Structure formats: structure tokens, C-alpha cells
Amino acid sequence: MQLLLFLFSPFLTKSMIFFPTEKVSGVSITSTNLPIEGKPVNLTCEAAGSVPTRKWMKDGSDFNLADNITLHDENRVLSFHSLKKSDKGKYSCKVSNPVNSEEATFNMVVNLSIPTIACPTENLIEGKTSVNLTCDADGFVSTRVWVKDGQPLVPGERYSFHDGNRVLSISPVNRTDTGEFLCKVSNDFSSATAKCALKVYYGPDKPRIVQTPIGAELEESVTLYCSADSLPKATFFWTFKHMKMYGAMHYIHEMEERHLGRYTCTAQNAITGLEASVFHTLRGI
């Protein structure tokens, strides 16, 4: 009765009118980004209706702020300045007003950061260069596995591992090391992979000479072709009776007696600084 008299009192001003509280609804928790150990992340508690209070809990218990955690915007935002492994758990936000309350939950999984491999930038030369590949990742890493061509690498004649598999040493590099090395890091909650592509320069190997046709007669045309395995591709030159001819192919339009004899093909690699030679004796039938 007193409340009714108050509501209809002639002395009641517009600013004193009481409006009923709007029911809380649509409570949700969103994350600004993927929770990664060592990185910042915000959990935001959104709700519709009248929201006088928000209360955060972790794993069903009252939540205690730590050095790396703050609440702001009237407890709407829970900020982790640098995620720790211990921050994992089930977070809940309870939104209440005099009419009702509603709660949302968020399962915080602390992920590893994307690892990185410090790839070498210098030229890698077969049999001469040694290299260390270092795989770094923020956060707690329980395992590191190195993979090449789909197969896990194991210690051997040229491969060795250091600092809990963080560093892969290859000494010396071989042409078979050309390709992509993977470092797979993991812990109990997540895993991630980093890649490093290596290119190993090699050669030239011993050249090979092919004569076409094999049994050439005088006054016929003859082609001598020289090849060698090499990275980068080798350059070639021929020597014959104190003459020097450049290119992988030496062509004789019409073979004469003066063309017969010993031809030497030399292959050169501009990066490895190596060269290799082989000779071929041209005979007429």
C-alpha cells in the first residue's frame, strides 16, 4: 500500500520513477586470439540485459588475480598479459542482477607458439660445410622431433642433436640434405611445426662423354656431348691439340684426319669452385 501511494504521489518527479530490471540473457565468453603461452590474450564476458555484476571463476572456485592477470571494464574483460602454462583451465563468468543470473564457460587451452628455425643463409657445399638448425618455440615444449622426407631423423654419422633436440647439427652436409627439414614441437595441449629448406651445392662429378654416331667414318659429321651431375649446373670446355672450345657439345661438320685424337672435357662449378675432367679418343673407321 505504501509503495502504491509512493508511485502515485503528486510529489514524485520523472527522474524518481523506478523501471523494472531487464533480465540477463545471452551470456558468452570470447577470446581475442588463440591462447599461446607467453603471449597476451583477453577473455571478454558479454551479456544482454541489465548487468550490475560480473563474477569470474576458474575450475569452479573463486578466481584470484595474479601478476600477469587483470580485470577491467567493470569486470567485463579478463586480461592475461603473458599466458602461463598454469593458466589453463575452465573459466566461468556469472552475470547477475536482482531478476536473474546466467553463466558462461570457456575452456582455456594454453597452446605452443608457432616454432621458428634459424635457416642458414650462406652457400652450403657438399663435404665442406657444416650447419646447425635451431628450433625455437615460446612456452613449455615437452618434445621436439626433426623430420626429413617424412621420416624422423636419428643420430648418425652426420646428424647429431643438442639441447634437448633443440639443435640439429649436420656435419658435413651432403647433396641428399637438399630439401625441407621439419621441426615438430609439442606438449600435453598442442603441437606445431616449423620448416627450413636447405639447398646443398655439389659437384661437378666425373663428366661423361657420348659420341654420336659411335662408329663415325671420315667425311661424316660427329657430335661429342659432355655432361656431369652438378648443382648449380656445370659449365664445360673442351681441349684438343692445344685448342680450347667452350660448351657442353662439340660438333664436327665433316670429320677429317686432323680431327682424330684425344678430346678432354672439363666441367666446372662456379659455387663449389671444383672442376673435373675426362677424355675421349675420337677414331675414324
The cell for 102 is: 546466467
* Continuous segment of H or E residues that includes residue 80: strand 77-80
Assigned domain for 6 exists: no
**Cα dist from 2 to 6, 17, 18, 164, whole Å:** 6, 15, 15, 77
Domain termination residue (choose one: 184, 201, 218)? 201
Number of domains the chain contains? 3
Angle CA 223–229–230, to nearest 5: 115
193 lies in the same domain as 127: yes
Per residue of the chain (285 residues), give pLDDT as tens. Answer: 333 333 444 444 444 444 457 899 999 999 988 888 888 999 999 999 888 899 999 999 988 888 889 999 999 999 999 888 889 899 999 999 999 999 999 999 888 888 899 899 999 999 999 999 999 987 778 899 999 999 999 999 899 999 999 999 999 999 999 999 999 998 877 888 999 999 999 999 999 999 999 888 898 999 999 999 999 999 999 999 989 999 999 999 999 999 999 999 999 999 999 999 999 999 877
Residue 251: domain span: 208-282
Cell of 61: 572456485
Asked whether the beta carbons of 226 and 236 are under 8 A apart, the reply is yes
State which of 159, 180, 201 marks the end of a domain.
201
Buried b (16+ CB within 10 A) or exposed e, 240-259: beeeeeeebebeeeebeeeb
In a domain, 257, yes or no: yes
Indicate which CATH number applies to the domain containing 126: 2.60.40.10
Q: Is 76 a domain residue?
A: yes
Residue indicated by cell numbers 508511485: 7
Joined together, the cell numbers standing for residue 68 give: 600477469
Identity of the amino acid at 5:
L
Same domain, 98 and 135: no
- The structure's pTM equals 0.70
